[in-house]
Structure 1
Amino acid sequence: MDDKLRNKLQDISERHEELGEMLCAPEVVENTARFLAASREHAELRPVAEAFTRFMQAEAGLAEARELLADPDMRELAEDDVTRLQDELTGLESELQRLLLPKDPNDSKNVVLEIRAGTGGEEAALFAADLWRMYSRYAERMGWSMDLMSASEASAGGLREVTGMIRGKNVYANLKFESGVHRVQRVPATESQGRIHTSAATVAIMPEAEEVDVHVSESDIRLDVMRASGAGGQHVNTTDSKVRLTHIPTGIAVECQQEKSQTKNREIAMVLLRSRLLDLEIQKYEAERAAQRKSQVGSGDRSEKVRTYNYPQDRITDHRINLTRHNLGAFMDGDVGDLITALRAYDEAERLRP
């Protein structure tokens, strides 16, 4: 470990210890704002401080084991300890470098999930519905909640477009690499000759943006209200409950008709609009980063084909990291954790590269 990294870790360790003492001080405990701020910082530094403590302990153990190499009676045992501790130190140094990577400020945010059917007609809409169910099942496995915000059904029972909110711990951190074009290869139910068709759907993962994240001036918004259409009960076609908000500077438009109340639909539409504006900034940043490092996971290009679901061969292939796995049935039932873990690990490895 070089001196620069060691000094940085030593400073973090000392700060973690200082914060621990502060949290026991009466003047801090009595000041709610100060106590909460110190608690948050203490919790953020804990993984690094604890890993550095384990590193220092392993380093001290290695020095002792090397001294024992000179003792003929202890040499064989000491050699085993040296090998074990060297491996442990290598692993701990890698872990510390990973822990020091800059955190994505959006990682802890909830997510707006948007799925749109692409090429493939009714089959694409059916695939979009399959993806919606896949993410719903994954959310259940993770203990997250998932709420429908808007949906447009296709005549064959699929979804032309669907938007939902996923709430829980570190949702964006887990799902942010799902954005892009998802392609499916299978025999559609309507295909009489058994031919394999290729269809696609686009997935967008957007961190939920609050007013503190994105300020939207009322003068920049055009509000249109209209009669809701489709399923929805007695209010459909009887009240102007459907809301469309257009952000004039960017041309981004969002709609919502899920609720009977125009006011509630406008609130939901504002959440969507702010999230899309924040997502636009993220895409610009990712595109700039991709220009500097072509092999990273996120490129900011939503037209990029990211994954293929091949039903005849029972396989899923993620094209960004060249990873293929099988058991497509389980995957579509929400068993996607291993692939998401692989994508996150790949991104971390890329960011660790000099």
Structure 2
Amino acid sequence: MTTAAADSDPRRAPEPPPAPAATGVGSLPGDDMAESIRMVMGELGEPPGVPFLPELPQRGVGADMIGRGAALLVDLYAEVQPSGWRIVDRPGRDHGRARSHLSADLDLLEEYTQGYVGPLKIQVAGPWTMAAAVELPHGDKMLADTGAVRDVAASLAEGLRLHAQDLRKRVPGAQLVIQLDEPSLPGVLKGSVRTASGFGALRAVEENVVRDLLRSVIDGVKAGGPADSAIPVIVHCCAPDVPFGTLHRAGAAGISFDMSLLSGRHDEALGELIEAGVLLLAGVVPSTEPATPGPAVSELRDRVLRLRRLGFSWPQVAEAVIVTPSCGLSGASPGWARRALRLCRDTARALEEVD
């Protein structure tokens, strides 16, 4: 399957994982990365699973989403201040901690994926979410400075390119998929991202500016693939107002979202994505344990099957769907995190059997 967005790179277009499939959004509970990777490989290490490198924010500074993104930046450094992450002149303790977490995580991933062949997903905060979260050295959020936003996007794209090169050496059988986490993107477009002081909101960014900068990062990542292919890039946004059109026009190979937050007004956008060959990473499994007994596989399967209302044949819909939790699992219990991944996998298998 190929994406609808034209790939200016002369190499073969990126090949997303075959669908229906199952994966996680990224974060998991706890602080034991070895156990987390073993769990992911145990639940998703065989088709239709798509294993991923977990994020464990409960380990503290540098293990959170922004810290992981900061660890990948090239020639930009960030440290934690009382108000949050802030750009600094030189790397310090927090930067070193974030880099150390990432290096140790990759060592464990390499150890527990020996002989693995198949898709492998990694996640990192996207450029707009980084710009909305990280502060300038003596001012507001990076989002308030157009030049700073361009700098963080270019730095992140280069860091992801180098990250992908390292991963291909560590897991040579992996078909890499990169996920950009953009929970702040709707706020960037609406002008609802708070200033560093918290007393105001930053000006909305025009859709074409958001699209073009995101495309620059996606294209930079895709171009970092091996000589005969490119790396597919998907974008995750668990907010109610996912900008599907913007992400599609930016060249995303797939879009990850919380399916419970969608309504009929999204049908046209979803239909356009399916028609264009863009993957729908449908978050149907609760990210925290329900008060009542959790949903059965048959119920989750039926939630996905509702996409048939868009007017496509089931094979067309099935080829577009990857089943995921509704959001990250860092707030879940360890038991529910494992069960949620298993439910995703079993639901994908149930969808394979639908006529």
What TM-score do the two structures reach when normalised by structure 2? 0.25
- Give the structure with the larger strand fraction: 1
Larger Rg belongs to: 1
What TM-score do the two structures reach when normalised by structure 1? 0.25
Q: Higher relative CO (CA 8 A, sep ≥ 6), structure 1 or 2?
A: 2
